[in-house]
Structure 1
């Protein structure tokens, strides 16, 4: 049996990342992977990157990582309210100003995809890690998508399981021949009602892969205080508390 842990979308939330890493360590899982979006919306972008670097956690380039690394302009998104649009501009600008050059360079060199292959007995398991889709790191794929979307991804990547993040909403869908599509949710900026830090554990045997979505508590108020004491809009503190704001 082999177990690996996969998390995504930390978004500068160091207290949440620490809780996820501690939970993974407590379970005795040694291999862990990150699907990107280390930065934006909480004030510890540099610290999050440095922890990922110090621990040598393989990490993909999320859309927010790419924006900060290459100073890509920010454009309004039609799905956002005026309140969220204004907050988003300020928060991302904060990341661009506060990120060290060394950390920007680190983000700029992250891979877009990662393909893993594990051999157990006479069985090879192929695991495709992506941030949001095979062709983009900014595509929103939700659980309600037609099964064909995920089946095509599995076929195109020639994998047994595709694991993604980006939407901040976890799910797992099973298909024929023991294949899976899994979203590990968000470690640091969950959009789920409980706002817990989310990640996934894959347990592999010769017979099957079993994905388990893990959701854990973390010191949200510590993250909230960090936001309130920074130049990041308090919109994101209210978001973590799941207070009534215009969230899409």
Structure 2
């Protein structure tokens, strides 16, 4: 049996990341992977990057990482309200100014996706890690997508399981051929009602893959206060507290 921990979308939320890493360590899981989006929306962007670097956790390049690393332009998204659009521009601009040069270099060099192969007994399991999809790091694939969408990704990657983040909404889908599509949710900016920090544990045996979504509490009030004390818009403090902020 092999166990792997996979997490995504920390978004500068160091207390949430520390809660997840502590739980992984408590469970004795040594294999850890991050699917990206280390920065934006909470004030610990540098600290999150440096934590990932110090622990040598393999990490993908999320769309927010790419934007900060290469100073890409920010464009409004039709799904966002006027309030969120304004807050988003300010928060991303804050990251562009705040993230250290050496940390931008780290983000710039992250891989786009990663293919894993684990051998358990006589069985080889192929696991595809992406931020959002094989083609881009900003495609929104929700649980409600048709099975064909996920099956196409599984076939193209020749994998038994594909794991993604990006939407901040966790799910597990198994198909008739016993293959899986899993979203591990978000560590630092969950869009789920409970706002807990989410990550995924994969248990691999010779016979099967067992995915389990883990959700943890963390000191949200500390994060809220830190956001309010920073130049990041209070919109994101309200979002984390789930104070009637519209989720899209």
Report the TM-score when normalising by structure 2.
0.99
Q: CA deviation at 1:80?
A: 0.4
Structure 1 residue 21 corresponds to structure 2 residue 21: yes
Counterpart for residue 83 of structure 1: 83
Partner Cα distance (2:128, 2:104) in 1: 25
Query: CA offsets, 1:36-77, max 9 Å, x none?
Result: 000000000000000000000000000000000000000111
Structure 1 residue 58 corresponds to structure 2 residue 55: no
1:162–1:180: 8 Å Cα contact kept in structure 2?
Answer: yes
1:81–1:247: 8 Å Cα contact kept in structure 2?
Answer: no
Counterpart for residue 230 of structure 1: 230
Partner Cα distance (2:178, 2:50) in 1: 37
Query: CA offsets, 1:128-155, max 9 Å, x none?
Result: 0000000000000000000000011111
Partner Cα distance (1:68, 1:29) in 2: 31
1:118–1:124: 8 Å Cα contact kept in structure 2?
Answer: yes
Q: CA deviation at 1:185?
A: 0.3
Report the TM-score when normalising by structure 1.
0.99
Partner Cα distance (1:174, 1:247) in 2: 26
Counterpart for residue 122 of structure 1: 122
Q: CA deviation at 1:177?
A: 3.0
Partner Cα distance (1:245, 1:115) in 2: 36
1:83–1:246: 8 Å Cα contact kept in structure 2?
Answer: no
Structure 1 regions of 5+ residues with no counterpart?
none
Counterpart for residue 36 of structure 2: 36
Partner Cα distance (2:22, 2:11) in 1: 18
Counterpart for residue 9 of structure 2: 9
Aligned with 1:57: secondary structure? coil
Partner Cα distance (1:192, 1:246) in 2: 12
Partner Cα distance (2:216, 2:99) in 1: 28
Aligned with 1:42: secondary structure? coil
Counterpart for residue 148 of structure 1: 148
Q: CA deviation at 1:175?
A: 1.0
